[in-house]
């Protein structure tokens, strides 16, 4: 969630990974950018692959994070779960299928620092205006 003014998408991904899972990653790849409702909102998502995970201190979980359960599954199983309808979250589906596609086609992922012209700005701007 890009809710801190000036925070890079990669730094936001690092923060979210630690907050939601208690892990950090030695390596990050950019998988896909998604415009969720083009024409209606600036809401967009940048999906990263966090690789070579290691545990870190997790801040006290809040709200929806408190009830999260982690499940590690092989990529092929995650793809099967998408195709069966077990995973339906649009962001997760896009990330899983993008990871599988880059692997099967032998395509290199993009750098996590790739420019993002469609980066959403409204939420962080509103938080800054409210002093949050």
> Do 28 and 53 meet the contact criterion of CB atoms below 8 Å apart?
no
Which residue from 117, 107, 121 is spatially nearest to 12, judged by alpha carbons?
Answer: 121
CA 115 – CA 103 distance, rounded (Å): 23
Indicate the length of the chain as a whole number.
132
Beta-strand runs (E) in the chain: 23-35, 44-55
Residue 75, SS3 per DSSP: helix
**Residue of 65, 69, 77, 129 marked active site:** 65
Is 65 noted as a catalytic residue in this protein? yes
Residues with active-site annotation: 65
């Amino acid at each position: 969630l890009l809710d801190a003014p000036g925070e890079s998408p990669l730094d936001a991904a690092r923060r979210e990974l630690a907050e939601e899972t208690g892990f950090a990653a030695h390596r990050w790849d950019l998988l896909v950018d998604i415009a969720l409702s083009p024409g209606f909102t600036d809401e967009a998502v940048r999906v990263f692959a966090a690789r070579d995970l290691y545990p870190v201190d997790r801040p006290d979980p809040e709200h929806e994070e408190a009830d999260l359960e982690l499940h590690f599954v092989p990529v092929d199983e995650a793809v099967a779960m998408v195709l069966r309808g077990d995973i339906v979250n649009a962001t997760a589906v896009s990330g899983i299928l993008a990871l599988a596609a880059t692997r099967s086609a032998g395509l290199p992922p993009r750098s996590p620092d790739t420019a993002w012209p469609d980066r959403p700005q409204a939420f962080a701007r509103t938080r800054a205006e409210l002093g949050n």
